[in-house]
A and B are shown apart, each in its own frame.
Chain A
Amino acid sequence: MIKDRLETIFRQSFEIGKFTEDLSVDNVPGWDSMAHVGLILALQKEFAVSIPPADAIELTSVKNIIQYLANRGISSG
């Protein structure tokens, strides 16, 4: 599942409680502009996709990330 793999990344990177689609730059402590770059790098590695800078700016919540990865053809299975 995309979501499980995402949760692993988020747990390694941030202090979070319950992992939900509502997590975003607004409510995850430490998810600042620098961390965002790190997150994009981690996503690229984990899902083997290249994320252009223009797309990266939009990926500001777990919901957006899941949607984006699905659109990029990452299977949710």
Chain B
Amino acid sequence: MNWESFKKLKGDEGWLVIRRAAKAIQDVLRQKIATFEHKADVAFVSSYTTDPLADYVQVFAAQNDLAVNQYIAPYGQFNQELLNPQSELYRVSPQITFLLIEAESDAIDEQASRLQGLVDAFLKNSTGILVINTFPACPSWPLQVLPDQRRILIEKLNAGIIERYQSHPRIQILDLDALVAYAGCQNAMSPQMMSMARIPFSEAFLGLLARRIISHIIATRGLARKCLVLDCDNTLWGGIIGEDGLDGIQIGRDSPGREYLEFQKTILELYEQGVILAINSKNNHDDVMQVLNEHPQMLLREKHFASILVNWDPKPQNMQKIADQINIGLDTMVFIDDNPAERQMMRQSLPQVETLEMPADPSLFARTLRETSFFARAYLTEEDKNRGQIYAAQRKRDQFQQSCTTLEDFLKSLEMVVSIHPAGKDDIKRVAQLTQRTNQFNLTTRRYTEADIAAMAQNSAWRIYVLGLKDKFGDNGTVGLALVEIQPKKWRVDTFLMSCRVIGRQVEDAMVDRICRDATKAGCISVSAEYIPTAKNNLVAGFWDKMGFEKENADAKQVRYSRQLKNYQSPQFLYLKIV
């Protein structure tokens, strides 16, 4: 069997087929025959058998270019694994631990305190992320007229779990109750599987659960895609604007048209979660703008899109332009088009872009989008909530730049105000997110979780600098970050990054200056830094040289720099006001 056959699997082939593909992937990974772009170390600790679930996870992960290194705790050993500080789980020390358990008792206080005991032990003995499940509140007597007391209790238990743990930085909730409800109790739970293999779920549900697990991995590892790129005709509305005209296209509360409204609603929800929207359509530009600005039933408007490319060029070419305009990688983009030929072309030309397979029936578009893991997030930051406006402002900024004759004119008239401050409690989520999402202006590309950053913020040997930027078009939010390790005579810049939104605005100079000034004040002799090249950060290859740092070694994989602080003088900032 060709090990790459996993790429074609849909997940409904049956567990044996999935299992064989998973084994083939594991062999290839073990023998280092091939590698995947991303990696994650996960553990399954459970009251039931998780091997089949792990097989599905392996296959779906590989389809997302993700190699998952799995530790599967022995069957039923979850108490020992979590409570014993010397357990194999803690020795393996995975990034994400899935604690998947059944309710042992109908006494909800007892169940809740057991769970709390396990969670507390984990938080004490591990630095990783713990994923816990809610319990399926399935009807025990579906046709009984009496109130279902057991179900009511489990619902209470679940509400308590969600309330207690939902905003903990190191705990994620896998809402199994909701997932089972989505699939339906009869379809999801399988007494036969329980009897044969000690697995409470049906084969079909294992696939859905595995996809949810992939979402947790994507969210934790910062692999969520950033931008959704949409076709127009028969995707955002029914019909063809160039032929049917503004009054002829289908969009609104009446049918046909309602299915497109539902789809737009789904897209708008993603926008509110911080997903950047763009349009890539073969049409006359003015026709599409007229729909966006004038059609009374449209939910999506011009202001929601960070980039609008409407022309008759091939779509892969437009895609590249959108990526350049927004300044993000193609591998952070998802493309939706109703036309199978366009999808095929996109997949062939730009395989890095995730091109969603769409059903022929537009009334299923919304569901298809809602059932993807690509935009999975464990939390939302203020930046996420405002991202749409920030990018709309960026579009105006770009237009303004084109009207300026020189870069100096542009920078001067932006009226930029930079603020640099040590990270407070409110910044921790955004700091972690920046380390996970920033690829281009990132000198070392070290990824940190929220838990890592929280630990650094507590540790006096670390200083976390965050940089905010405002200008005449609005607040850009927190766009820069430096993680600095404080050593007695020498500070070490562990991480230095800037959001791609502000590249070319010279704010990075202000951050370097701040570090050097603070280090000088603290009595340092020098500041050291590194450049670790990746496939994406070539932009900053010469950054430290430009900042007056000197190369210390010739190791091309990790270039070390240092800057002496004797007689340090700040540069002049012509375009920035620093507060």
Contacts and interface: CB of A to CB of B under 8 A. Distances in A.
A53 B134 CA distance: 29
A60 interface: no
Contacts of B13: 12
Contact of A34 (B1, B193, B197): B197
Given A37-B196, A56-B196, A13 B17 contact: yes
B290 interface: no
Contacts of B175: none
B14 A34 contact: no
A25 interface: no
A47 B197 CA distance: 21
Chain A, interface SS category: helix
Contacts of A38: 14-16, 19, 52
Contact of B16 (A13, A50, A52, A53): A13
Contacts of A40: 196
B51 interface: yes
B51 A41 contact: no
A41 B20 contact: no
A68 to B, nearest CB: 16
A38 B192 CA distance: 12
Given A34-B51, A41-B15, A13 B20 contact: yes
A58 interface: no
Interface in B12-35: 13-17, 19-20, 23
A40 B190 CA distance: 14
B337 interface: no
B203 interface: yes
A37 B197 contact: yes
B195 interface: yes
A35 B16 CA distance: 6
Chain B, interface SS category: helix
Interface string B197-235: 100000100000000000000000000000000000000
A61 B13 CA distance: 22
Contacts of B192: 50, 52-53
Contacts, number: 45
A53 B13 CA distance: 22
A18 interface: no
A41 B197 CA distance: 11
Given A15-B1, A34-B51, A34-B52, A53 B17 contact: no
B196 A12 contact: no
Interface residues of B, number: 17
A53 B196 contact: yes
B14 A45 contact: yes
Interface string B50-85: 011000000000000000000000000000000000
Interface in B270-287: none
Interface string A6-25: 00010011110000000000
B1 A41 contact: no
Nearest to A45: B14
A72 to B, nearest CB: 16
Interface in B309-368: none
Contacts of B1: 15
A28 B334 CA distance: 43
A12 B52 CA distance: 16
B24 to A, nearest CB: 10
Contacts of B17: 12-13
A62 to B, nearest CB: 15
Which 3 interchain pairs have the tightest Cβ spacing? A38-B16, A13-B16, A37-B197
Interface of B: 1, 13-17, 19-20, 23, 51-52, 192-193, 195-197, 203
16 contacts: A9-B16, A12-B14, A12-B20, A13-B20, A15-B1, A30-B23, A34-B19, A35-B19, A37-B197, A38-B16, A41-B16, A42-B16, A45-B14, A50-B192, A53-B192, A56-B196
Given A13-B16, A38-B52, A39-B16, 11 more contacts: A9-B16, A12-B14, A12-B16, A13-B19, A34-B19, A35-B19, A37-B52, A37-B193, A41-B15, A50-B192, A53-B195
